[in-house]
């Protein structure tokens, strides 16, 4: 049944405008009744009658049956989403922090009130990874899910390695193009991909993990010495979230920069593009590639969710029903490159083994095996000025 959707949209920024641009080119059984925005004085491309600053214009309107949430404030987005679902309205959201932080509660609300929350646009822009994990891989044993989940950091790294730009110049260019915020730490610090990883893990393995419990270290401490090392070894650096099942009943999750070689399919994923690599027991390796940033790519994912609601689509969370024995673990060994400024810093880290060590006047690093738990415990030490850590596959 193709149900007619009466839509209220919170936010009219880059994604909201992109969504509207796409909708107006389509003949769909829907109507956008109202936008709620924060700044009433800002000039808009649509008639003023469509806009209001009053949330009740959407949440209190019984005719509106679908809420699209596209705002930056995760706390406000949660209150909007929670109230909408409880009042019988379905919700489409692109707010990865809100969803990752409250997914277990939001899932329970959907089940209790018979409503649907869809959020394909919250993870990897135009790539339909959530729907694929829900439907295509619903009965599949997944060995791992990893990839490039953040277009901003990938754009910066692409400019560094392909155009020999400095980190600062590449970051400024990403900001000028709207890929990175004025305060870019959510992207370059690995927070954005961490939120997305928590959502992906939920649909891949049926577990709820608080994103605060997932290690994220970004590329904000990257400097010319690390870039020179990578180029000499014919590596590129990518900021990669990683989910992997270990010991048959445990899942490990983390976000770290990683040195990768040219035989890795992610090596040539450049600029604002994203790539998701799924390794499964029966389907083997599969790769998803597409635009990860921008109003139209994310808007297309949001519209896909809106269109699915016309036919009553809901996430079934089937893997959660079967995942009672799966536990989140941080007991996992990995090999890392660690560039450090002071010997005292290195002495505070407990490596299981060191396979390479370089000591120069202004450049000191080790490559060795270390437990993820040790990195988590010493994250503040590792993140001190003058240090940089990245995973490396030998």
| Tokens at 147, concatenated | 């990839």
Instruction: Report angle CA 51, 55, 60 to the nearest 5 degrees.
Output: 110
The rounded distance, in Å, linking the Cα atoms of 327 and 318 is 17
Given 34, 96, 97, 196, the catalytic residue: 196
The rounded distance, in Å, linking the Cα atoms of 245 and 240 is 16
Which strands sit side by side in the sheet containing 66-69, from one edge to the other?
51-52, 30-36, 5-10, 66-69, 90-93, 117-118
97 is catalytic: no
Tell me if 268 sits within 8 A of 218, measured CB to CB: no
DSSP E strands, the chain = 5-10, 30-36, 51-52, 66-69, 90-93, 117-118, 142-148, 215-216, 236-246, 250-260, 273-280, 284-291, 327-329, 333-340, 353-359, 364-371, 388-392
Q: Name the β-bridge partners of 354.
A: 368
Residue 194's Cβ-side half-sphere holds a number of Cα atoms within 13 Å equal to: 22
Question: Catalytic amino acids?
Answer: 196
């Amino acid at each position: 049944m193709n149900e007619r959707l009466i839509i209220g949209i919170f936010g009219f920024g880059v994604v909201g405008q992109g969504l509207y641009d796409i909708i107006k080119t389509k003949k769909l059984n829907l109507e956008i009744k109202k936008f709620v925005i924060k700044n009433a004085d800002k000039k808009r491309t649509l008639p003023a009658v469509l806009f209001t600053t009053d949330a009740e214009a959407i949440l209190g309107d019984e005719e509106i049956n679908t809420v699209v949430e596209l705002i930056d404030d995760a706390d406000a987005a949660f209150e909007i989403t929670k109230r909408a679902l409880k009042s019988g309205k379905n919700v489409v959201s692109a707010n990865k922090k809100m969803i990752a932080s409250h997914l277990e509660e939001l899932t329970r609300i959907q089940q209790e009130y018979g409503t649907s929350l869809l959020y394909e646009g919250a993870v990897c822009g135009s790539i339909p990874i959530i729907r694929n994990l829900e439907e295509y891989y619903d009965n599949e044993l997944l060995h791992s899910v990893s990839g490039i989940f953040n277009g901003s950091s990938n754009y910066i790294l692409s400019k560094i390695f392909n155009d020999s730009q400095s980190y600062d110049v590449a970051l400024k260019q990403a900001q000028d193009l709207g890929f990175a915020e004025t305060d870019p730490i959510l992207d370059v610090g690995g927070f954005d991909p961490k939120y997305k990883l928590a959502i992906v893990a939920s649909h891949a393995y049926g577990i709820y993990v608080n994103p605060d419990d997932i290690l994220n270290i970004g590329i904000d401490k990257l400097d010319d010495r690390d870039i020179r090392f990578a180029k000499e070894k014919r590596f590129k650096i990518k900021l990669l979230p990683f989910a992997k099942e270990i010991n048959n009943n445990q899942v490990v999750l983390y976000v770290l920069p990683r040195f990768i070689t040219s035989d890795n399919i992610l090596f040539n994923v450049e600029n604002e593009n994203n790539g998701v690599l799924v390794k499964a027991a029966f389907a083997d390796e599969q790769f998803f590639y597409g635009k990860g940033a921008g109003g139209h790519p994310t808007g297309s994912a949001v519209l896909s969710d809106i269109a699915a609601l016309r036919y009553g689509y809901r996430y079934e969370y089937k893997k959660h029903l079967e995942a009672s024995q799966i536990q989140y673990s941080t007991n996992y060994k990995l090999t890392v490159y660690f560039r450090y400024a002071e010997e005292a810093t290195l002495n505070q880290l407990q490596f299981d083994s060191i396979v390479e060590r370089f000591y120069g006047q202004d450049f000191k690093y080790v490559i060795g095996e270390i437990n993820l738990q040790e990195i988590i415990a010493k994250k503040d030490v590792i993140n001190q000025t003058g240090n940089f850590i990245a995973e490396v596959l030998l």
